[in-house]
Amino acid sequence: MNSFITNQNWRYATKKFDATKKVSNEDLQTLKEAIQLSTSSYGLQPYKVLIIENPEVRKQLQPVSWGQSQIVDASHLIVFANYTNINETHIDNYINNIAQSRKLNVEDLAGYSDFMKSKILALPQEQLAVWTSKQTYLALGNLINAAAELKIDVTPMEGFEPAKYNEILGLNELGLNASLVAPIGYRHDEDVNQHLAKVRKPLDELFETI
């Protein structure tokens, strides 16, 4: 656990990436598995994760990301996209996955399926989209923590125009919305932010035991 805290102190939201350094396929696979294993409500994972490597696509995304250099300089650009609507098919597919993974009969999961449908499908679409968007933050947390263990930098970003991302990446047609962006790679020696002290609330101010 000490190494975990040490790595959390090491990480920061990198402002300038070294464009010459690339995350290896092996490490990228580890990060993908970390995201895959993230917790989510009901275990439903109501999102897709896009890994943008194409430099031309990233050039298109930079202007609608407030011009931030991380979009084009990082090794990879990860976009978390939440489903804007959940229907019975999403839940049925998940139930089938549970049955297959745990060697169960789908019929034995009918109660759980009906419960999910009664709670999720009853939500207004706007509220549902907010809920699915929140799930992407949980996945982002796993990415950040796993990357720190590998000494890979991550910059979680909300500073972009989701509607433009949706248009450029063709997400609207897939019922998806760009929720979060996370460039990953390696900090540049010239990024002065890596030398700044980490600023957080003191423990006695942040926590209260009741």
Domain boundaries, given as residue ranges, for the chain: 2-84+125-206, 87-120
User: How much is the average pLDDT of 183-195?
Assistant: 97
34-84 per-position pLDDT tens digit: 999 999 999 999 999 999 999 999 999 999 999 999 999 999 999 999 999
Q: What is the pLDDT of residue 120?
A: 97
User: In this structure, what are the phi and psi dihedrals at residue 195, rounded to the nearest 5 degrees?
Assistant: -95, -5
HEC string for the chain: CHHHHHHHHHCCCCCCECCCCCCCHHHHHHHHHHHHCCCCHHHCCCEEEEEECCHHHHHHHCHHHCCCCHHHHCCEEEEEEEECCCCHHHHHHHHHHHHHHHCCCHHHHHHHHHHHHHHHCCCCHHHHHHHHHHHHHHHHHHHHHHHHHCCCEECCECCCCHHHHHHHHCCHHHCEEEEEEEEEECECCCCHHHHCCCCCCCHHHHCCCC
pLDDT at residue 147 is higher than 80:
yes
User: How much is the average pLDDT of 184-198?
Assistant: 97
pLDDT at residue 207 is higher than 90:
yes
101-117 per-position pLDDT tens digit: 999 999 999 999 999 99
Residues 6+ apart with CB under 8 A from 123: 131
Separation between Cα atoms, residue 197 and residue 199, nearest integer Å: 6
Nearest to 161 by CA among 49, 59, 64: 64
Separation between Cα atoms, residue 54 and residue 72, nearest integer Å: 10
Q: Helices 25-36 and 125-149, interaxial angle, to 10°?
A: 140
At position 148, the amino acid (one-letter code) is A
pLDDT at residue 1 is higher than 90:
no
Q: What is the pLDDT of residue 158?
A: 97
Q: What is the pLDDT of residue 82?
A: 98
CATH of 2-84+125-206, one of 3.30.930.10, 3.40.109.10, 3.40.50.300, 3.40.50.2300: 3.40.109.10
Q: At 2, is the pLDDT very low, low, confident or very high (cuts 50, 70, 90)? A: confident
